[in-house]
Structure 1
Amino acid sequence: MHVAELRFECFADTTINRAQTAINGFLEALRANGQILGREFAVSFHDAEFRVRLMLPEPQSLAHRYHSPWVKQALLALTDAKLLAPREKLLGQDINANESCLETPSWQLLYTSYVHMCSPLRSGDNLLPIPLYRIPATFNGDHKQLIRWQTEWQACDELQMASATKAEFAALEELGSCGSDLFRRGWDLRGRIEYLTKIPTYYYLYRVGGNSLKEELQRPCPRCGNKEWRLSEPLLDLFHFRCDHCRIVSNLSWDYQ
């Protein structure tokens, strides 16, 4: 990932409220298209200029060729608010983040966690994040539904990792059950991505708990009952199970690792 600064300069009289609405709308459109990462963006104002620092999947993430219809519309809204198109300054690479995957993978998967702010679409060859704007829009011109699913998955993950309230058990049900709403929506998005990209796309099903290691090693695919989905060697040192029929990968229960 890379760090960049955007500067929005006023070209005529405007108000803070009008500028704030236009800038926030533009940033939200970029986020929904996967061109910027994170949830909160601090916008500063000084000498008739607004500035914001952003995390990008790659140096050219803000290129016009990647803009969704909503980003292009948000650019017009900036003009209506008397702001010039933003000037971009690339500040450098984030030393604490992975690079993005820029090569076409042989397979891919939906995988995230509460500590990750990168794309939830990962290469199955090396687990590097794939910038969402590099694949066709999943729904309604961008990837808002996929970003929303990621946000909810991360919220459940943070709840179960905290282990401080009864909400932990509800969160685990959403993360690890094929009957949960979170799984249903994510698995449908997975199928949509596979259809659009023509690349086998899997869903990561979180696993914790179990009665014994022996029982865990013998557990079948929770969606179709496939008893042959256990792998001889873990994929990417993380996934011990894969069902090619259901397009699901899963880990050996964290209780036995």
Structure 2
Amino acid sequence: MFVTELRFECFADTTISAAEKAINQLLEAYRANGQILGREFAVAFNDGEFRVRLLMPEKSSLAHKYHSPWVKKALAELTDAKLLAPREKFIGQDINSEVSNTDTPSWQLLYTSFVHMCSPLRSGDNLLPIPLYRLPATFNGDHKRIIRWQSEWQACDELQMAAATKAEFAALEELSSPDSDLFRRGWDLRGRIEYLTKIPTYYYLYRVGGQDLASEKARPCPRCGSHDWKLDEPLLDMFHFRCEPCRIVSNLSWDHQ
């Protein structure tokens, strides 16, 4: 991933509140389209211009060809706040994050965790994140629903990893049950992505707990009950199960690996 700085210059007198609203609207539009990553963006004002540093999946993430209708509208509305179109200053590659997948995958999956800021759509060939803006818009012109699902998944993951409150059990149910609201929304998004890209797309179902290793290896697909989903060798050294009809991948319980 890469770091860039956007600079917004004023071409006439404006107010901090008007500029703040216009810039934040643009940043939220970029985020909803997967063009920038993260949740919080520090916008600084100095010497008559506003500056913000952003993390992007690729050096070209802010190219016009990737803009959603919302991004285009937000760019046009900068003029109302007396701001020029942003100038980009490339900072460099982020050494603490993954590179993005650039090749068309043979299969892909929805996979995230509370420590990841990158796209939740991963290549099944190498587990590298696939920039969302490279996909056709999933709903209403961009990928807001995928970003929202990712935020919910990460919130549940952080709760269950902390293991400090009773909320841990409710969060774990959302992550690991095919009957949960989180699964239903994510699995539906998975289907939408597969329909748009024509690439087999799977949902990662988190697994922890269980009685022992033997029973874990023998457990059926929790959605259809099939025992044929156990793999001879784990995919990407992580996924020990894959159900083709249900489009689910899962792991041996982390408690028994």
The one-letter code matched in structure 2 to 1:141 is G
Q: CA deviation at 1:96?
A: 1.1
Name 1:221's counterpart in structure 2.
Answer: 221
The CA RMSD measured in Å over matched residues stands at 0.4
Paired residue for 2:2? 2
Q: Which residue number corresponds to residue 248 of structure 2?
A: 248
1:226 and 1:77 mapped to 2: Cα distance? 53
**Does residue 185 of structure 1 match 2:180?**
no
Deviation at 1:214, TM superposition (A): 1.1
Cα deviations by residue, 1:82-102 (Å, 9 ceiling, x for unpaired): 000000011000011111001
SS at match of 2:126: coil
Partner of 2:124: 124
Residue ranges of structure 2 left out of the alignment (5+ in a row): none
Counterpart residue number, 1:79: 79
How far has the Cα of 1:8 moved from its partner? 0.3
Between the two proteins, the alignment pairs up a number of residues equal to 257
Q: SS where residue 13 of structure 1 aligns?
A: coil
3-state SS of 1:20 partner: helix
What is the TM-score of this pair, normalised by structure 2? Answer: 1.00
CA distance in 2, matches of 1:125, 1:151: 24
Q: What per-residue deviation string (whole Å, max 9, x for no partner) do you get for residues 57-107 of structure 1?
A: 000000000000000000011111100000001100001111100110000
- Cross-structure match for 1:142: 142
Q: Letter of the aligned partner of 2:94 in structure 1?
A: D
Q: What do residues 179-235 of structure 1 show as CA deviations (whole Å, max 9, x unaligned)? A: 000000000000000000000000000000001211111000000001010000000
> Residue 246 of structure 1: CA displacement?
0.3
Q: Deviations over 1:121-178 (max 9, x none)?
A: 0000000000000000000000000000000000000000000000000000000000
**Matching of residues 223-242 of structure 1 within 5 Å:** 223-242=223-242
Structure 1 unaligned segments of length 5 or more: list them: none
TM-score, with length taken from structure 1? 1.00
Which residue of the partner structure matches residue 57 of structure 1?
Answer: 57
Runs of 4+ in 1 over 4 A off after TM superposition: none
Distance 2:193 2:254 in 1: 28
Letter in 1 for 2:168: E
Q: Residue 28 of structure 2 aligns with which residue?
A: 28
Distance 1:47 1:96 in 2: 31
